[in-house]
Amino acid sequence: MGKVFSLVCLILIILTSLKFAWNVFIIGLILNAFGITGLVVAMLNFRDTSSGQPVTKGVYRISRHPQLVALFVLFFEICIANGSWIALLTLITSRVLQHHGILAEQEVCLT
C-alpha cells in the first residue's frame, strides 16, 4: 500500500500547479540541497562498501535507510513548493505504510 500512496503522491505533484513565493522557494532550495546531498553521500557510502558486507559507515551510521530519508526530503520539498496539502498527506501516509515493509525486510535480512 505504501508504494500505491507514493504513486498517488507523484501523480498529485505532477497535476498540481506550482504556487511561487520567494520564502517557499528559499526553503525549497535548502531542503532540495539537503536531500540531493544526502542521496549522493548515501550512494557513495554504499558504493565504497565491499559486496556482501553491511554498510555501516558515513550516513549509514545515522540511518539504516538514508536514501529513503533523502528522497522523502526531496518529495516533501516538492509538496511544500506546490502548496498541495493532499500531496503532503499522501506522502506522509506512504512513508508510514512503507515503514512496516522496511521492518519486514530487515527481519528477513537478519535471518
Query: In whole angstroms, how large is the CA radius of gyration of the chain?
Result: 16
pTM of the model: 0.75
Please enumerate in sequence order all residues whose Cβ is within 8 A of that of 68, keeping only pairs 6 or more positions apart, or say none.
95, 98, 102
pLDDT at 74: 86
CA–CA gap between residue 92 and residue 89 (Å, rounded): 5
pLDDT at 48: 84
- From first to last of its 111 residues, the chain has per-residue pLDDT tens of 777 877 788 888 788 777 767 787 788 788 888 889 988 998 898 888 888 887 888 888 888 888 888 888 888 888 887 777 888 898 898 888 888 787 887 788 777
CA–CA gap between residue 90 and residue 16 (Å, rounded): 13
Domain edges within the chain? 2-110
8 A C-beta contact, residue 93 and residue 5 = yes
pLDDT at 56: 82
pLDDT at 24: 78
pLDDT at 72: 87
